[in-house]
């Protein structure tokens, strides 16, 4: 991992150049050749889409982002997913309460974006389903670790995968102009453990996982776009193949998972304390369960607190 400390957390990092010979040679998402001799189209990709976070959160462009060459297929697919998750996460974000500007942005997006699998249903109107399903206020229920309301679950997993692929390549590649110098993260090593609404960041799983990982060596710890994007990557130990990762999107959702052989159950997620679920009943063959969400106190929040190994945080 010679290149592990090449990124800078306070400014953009770019592997993109108009000349394909001077850009990263492989799409960091699908692994196909996008460099010299490529037979597919490629273009400029921002790891954190500028429209994913609230307009203006990247300021004048001097904050961290990772820019590289990606194939057009992956780039288009990711933009589509980002648009949906941006709308949903901003609509559910506590940042709306803190600022009229963010509130306006969230409302504008939700009034213009349709739910992907419900034809003609705008994000702003998709709340109604919840009231029917549970008869509880939206703020204190959750519908499952990876399928909270209003969200297209497969989109979450794919966007988390893309974000972690980018950061993983960034910190582990030592020369993206060469095949041997480029590290790509394959789906065969990607574990998606769960996605949590901000009102549930203090649930027993997350509390236990935070305390397990807080001593793991940290290889990336990035906060950018005025706090609307965070990512951390840790390794169980220098000679262990298992990594832990966490993302925070728009101050709204935290997503966590691991990098390990897909046939392994990562140690960090074994024997967690049970979450208490209540079954509401069966409708159309699907069981509806609810669980009370547990907010996190600020002083308990250590998920993104870490010094990166060997790097001076300037």
Residues that bind Zn ion (CB under 5 A): 27, 29-30, 71, 74
* Helices 72-91/100-110 angle, 10° precision: 120
17 vs 107 by CB, closer to Zn ion = 17
Q: From the CB of 135, what's the least distance to Zn ion, in Å? A: 44
Return the number of the residue (157 or 242) whose C-beta is nearest Zn ion.
157
Helix 72-91 / helix 153-172 crossing angle, nearest 10 deg: 120
Nearer to Zn ion, 71 or 231 (CB): 71
Cβ closest to Zn ion, residue 101 vs residue 179? 179
Q: Which H or E run contains 219? A: strand 218-224
Smaller CB separation from Zn ion, 63 or 71: 71
Report the nearest approach of Zn ion to the CB of residue 179 (Å).
15
> How open is the CA angle 308-79-84, to the nearest 5 degrees?
95
Decide: residue 237, CB within 10 A, 0-12 exposed, 13-18 middle, 19+ buried: exposed
**Parallel, antiparallel, or unpaired for β 190-197 and 13-14?**
unpaired
Q: Which is nearer to Zn ion, 69 or 205 (CB)?
A: 69
Closest approach, Cβ 234 to Zn ion, in A, equals 27
> DSSP character for 303?
T
Distance in angstroms (rounded) separating the CA atoms of residues 7 and 14: 9
195 and 92 Cβ atoms separated by less than 8 Å: no
Taking the complex as a whole, the smallest distance from the CB of residue 71 to Zn ion amounts, in Å, to 3
Rounded to a whole number of angstroms, the minimum distance from the CB of residue 131 to Zn ion is 40
From the CB of 72, what's the least distance to Zn ion, in Å?
Answer: 8
Rounded to an integer, what distance in angstroms lies between the CA atom of residue 114 and that of residue 123? 6
Q: Tell me whether residue 27 or residue 296 sits nearer to Zn ion (CB atom).
A: 27
Least separation in angstroms between residue 40's CB and Zn ion is 8
The residues that bridge with 26 in the sheet, in sequence order, are 33
**Residue among 92 and 169 whose Cβ is closer to Zn ion:** 169
Q: Which residue bears the tokens 């966007």? A: 159
Q: Please report the DSSP string for 18-75 in residue order.
A: SSGGGS-SB-TTT--B-STT--S-EEEEESS-TTTSPTTTTTTTTS--EEEEEEHHHH
Closest separation between CB of residue 109 and Zn ion, Å? Answer: 26
């Amino acid at each position: 991992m010679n290149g592990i400390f090449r990124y800078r957390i306070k400014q953009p990092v770019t592997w993109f150049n108009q000349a394909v010979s001077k850009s990263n040679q492989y799409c960091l998402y699908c692994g196909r050749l996008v460099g010299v001799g490529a037979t597919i189209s490629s273009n400029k990709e921002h790891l954190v889409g500028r429209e994913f976070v609230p307009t203006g959160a990247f300021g004048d462009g001097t904050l961290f982002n990772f820019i590289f060459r990606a194939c057009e297929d992956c780039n288009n697919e990711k933009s589509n997913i980002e648009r949906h998750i941006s709308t949903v996460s901003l609509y559910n974000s506590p940042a709306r309460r803190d600022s009229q500007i963010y509130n306006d942005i969230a409302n504008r997006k939700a009034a213009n974006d349709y739910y992907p699998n419900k034809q003609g249903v705008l994000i702003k109107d998709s709340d109604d389903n919840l009231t029917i399903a549970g008869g509880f206020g939206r703020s204190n229920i959750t519908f499952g670790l990876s399928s909270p309301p209003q969200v297209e679950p497969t989109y979450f997993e794919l966007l988390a995968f893309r974000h972690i692929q980018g950061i993983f390549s960034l910190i582990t590649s030592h020369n993206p102009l060469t095949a041997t110098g480029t590290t790509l993260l394959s789906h065969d090593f990607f574990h998606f453990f769960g996605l949590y609404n901000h009102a549930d960041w203090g649930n027993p799983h997350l509390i236990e996982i935070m305390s397990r990982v807080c001593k793991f060596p940290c290889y990336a710890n990035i906060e950018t776009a005025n706090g609307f994007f965070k990512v951390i990557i840790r390794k169980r130990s220098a000679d262990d193949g298992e990594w832990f990762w966490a993302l925070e999107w728009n101050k709204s959702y935290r997503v966590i998972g691991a990098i390990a052989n897909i046939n392994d159950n990562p140690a960090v997620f074994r024997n967690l304390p049970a979450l208490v679920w209540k079954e509401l009943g069966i409708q159309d063959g699907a069981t509806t369960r609810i669980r009370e969400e547990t907010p996190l106190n600020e002083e308990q929040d250590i998920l993104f607190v870490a010094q990166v190994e060997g790097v001076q945080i300037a």
